[in-house]
Structure 1
Amino acid sequence: MDASVRKIVEEAAASMSYERPSRDEAEAAVGVLLRWIGEDPTREGLIDTPRRVVKAYEEIFGGYGQEPADILTRTFDEVAGYDEMVLVRDIDFISHCEHHMVPIIGKAHVAYQPDGRVLGLSKIARVVDIYARRLQTQEAMTEQVAAVIDAALTPKGVAVMIEAEHMCMSMRGIRTKGSSTVTSSFFGSFKNDRSEQARFLSMLK
């Protein structure tokens, strides 16, 4: 297993090495937050809010219950000798900042150069979605997507670019609406050959 992927797996395991609260405890925590902001959880409009929030969190943070590497176990060898770049761009995602738990809204662009095997295209989008449905930093998510594809497929190279707007900047603090953050990660041929990086970037335009 690649060292960077091993680190990702170990960190994920460490983050789950505690007793998970019950649903009732989670709903009670939402009630505490409602009281803390100055609301009355017993008023009509908020009676079911704790239950709804916990149910929504199950979907929004569903990535913790899935292992991205498992999505990539099936590959295809019959590629008729194709060894050029495969690019899936404009993969929409919504994640949440691990610092403030507010949305990160963006697009991911993922490319790889096959070395005898290819992935089903939907699998790439699924990997992005799984990592997005966890508390994240954009930098970590970019590296995670690239590392898991590199480890599972062992292609000639992997390139990932993520462009996103962070609501922790738009909704609070400096409140800079519309600004975007761009991060990238390159493995193999994309890291070692600047012309391949340039070709990847030109295909995003």
Structure 2
Amino acid sequence: MKDKIDNNLNVEFYTEPTSDIVPDIYTMVKLMEDDNEPKRVVFTMTYFLMINKVSTFFIVKEGEDKIAFGLFVYGVHDKNFRRLKYFTVKRNKRGQGLGVNSLQKAIEKEINLDSGCNVACNHDLENFYSKLGFVKSNAIQKAHENFANNNYITMNLCSNKCDPDGDREYGDFYDIGLEEPAAFITYKKLEETYRIKLMPKGMRL
């Protein structure tokens, strides 16, 4: 059963990494560290995917307070398909149901359910995503196990026109493989290539 959406929440979507939202991307990056996501990898990947126009960054606001952040990545063959690459909630807003409400609001505005959306997550987040209608993919789980990624599951969200147990994991959405050492190099090259200063003053990766 989906929770009732909090109408006090608003979602803003961004398809270009302008200087105005770089601090918000940075905030997401710092919060993602709570899930053991390497900050340089998250920042560089987010920026790279946005600069190549294959992703949408979103911010959920409660009034003027920015409480949640995430990134949807586009499908390769089906441009309406979405992969939830990152999602996080401010620490002082966790445990209040705002995470479910925030993501539900973003999904309603961004996701075409006929094309579908999926997410890879730890087992302990299965209940969280199931509240939003995501269903665990048994087919993709076998692939995780074959690659020794037993800590992860993939969950699908789609209408009846989409196979909820179909393989939406490999090669069907835009992504890059990036490890921590390479992320810093890539991050520096992005600055040089686009002649920009990614990090505002006082922010360090």
Specify if TM > 0.5.
no
RCO greater where, 1 or 2, for CA within 8 Å and sep 6 or more? 2
Which one has a larger percent helix, Structure 1 or Structure 2? 1
- The structure with the larger Rg is 1
Q: Structure 2 length as normaliser, TM-score?
A: 0.29
Q: Structure 1 length as normaliser, TM-score?
A: 0.29
